[in-house]
Amino acid sequence: MALAALVPGALLGWAVYAAVGGSGDDGGDASTSAGPSAPASSLPPPSPGTPSPSKSDGPDGSDGSDGEKPGTSPGSTSPSASAGTGPLKGKVVVIDPGHNPGNFRHTAEINRRVDVGTHSKECDTTGTSTDDGFSEAEFTLDVAHRMRALLEEQGATVKLTQDDDRPFGPCIDERARIGNEAGADAAVSIHADGSGTGNRGFHVILPGSVDSGAADTRAIVGPSRDLGERIAGNFVRATGNGPSNYVGGGTGLVTREDLGGLNLSTVPKVFVECGNMRDSKDAALLTSGAWRQKAARGISEGIVSFLRG
């Protein structure tokens, strides 16, 4: 990848980057786009929390429990969010942990097709996993918990679309609706990719301009790009990992018009594919609790930067 192709806000993180290198409503072929990134806002260190329910030990020996707080129901907030103090007081962030740990038990339900504006597609999928069985659903929920703790410390009201508190789903149309009905100032869907071995790095998926059926993204394309660029730059700085070497042309940014979670959103929203679970080097990062904390911090700092302008 050419250094010049990277969004400017990620250049500092790229200096410490050594080597780069889905399923359901994410993954697959994508068109690319890029633009400038804005400076990051700083977040305070997270408070110690409860242990993660997901696989914990990574190559750094982390126990996976750093910075995490207990979960709450979809659309609800944890007690600390109600305090409403800090620079993000009054701001609402919706975090969408991709897939659900129980989806594999409900194949008939998640295979039901739903309207995403441009076409219909499955309600949801099981997601991908590493070769040794650490699931995307476990990963996304753990990162979501860590993000919630960081953002609530800044005063934001944080809502999750699911917290492993329902048998399956929600479907991709409902995931979008949760963010819309919350009047979210920013919504972020967390994922990990299931691409081929050797494909490494993160990418942020931005909504394309869609006006079809129930989908009309025209009003959110601009602010969603701003949100995505800020997340991409901060993700590099926080993790030291570079953008995807297989989509996005080295920018870490991809635009798509086929994802229901973006097509049906009426609030600024992006997807973050944090890495490729099917590559052993990326998998070693994704299964590390310490690295997941860095990823959560990078995404959260991008959100803070976007919300503070």
- Cite the active site residues: 273
Chain centre to alpha carbon of residue 155: 20
CA atoms within 13 A on the CB side of 51: 7
CA atoms within 13 A on the CB side of 18: 3
DSSP code string of 79-129: GGGGG--STTTT-EEEEEESS-TTGGG-HHHHTSEEE-SSSEEES-----B
241 contacts 297 by C-beta, under 8 angstroms: no
**Which tokens hold the place of 189?**
């869907």
Class of residue 61 by CB neighbours under 10 A (exposed 0-12, middle 13-18, buried 19+): exposed
273 contacts 202 by C-beta, under 8 angstroms: yes
Q: Are strands 203-207 and 253-256 parallel, antiparallel or unpaired?
A: parallel
Classify 158 as helix, strand or coil.
strand
Across the chain, how many H-helices and E-strands are there?
A: 8, 11
Q: Say how far apart CA 94 and CA 183 lie, in whole Å.
A: 9
Q: Residue 143: what are its φ and ψ, rounded to 5°? A: -65, -40
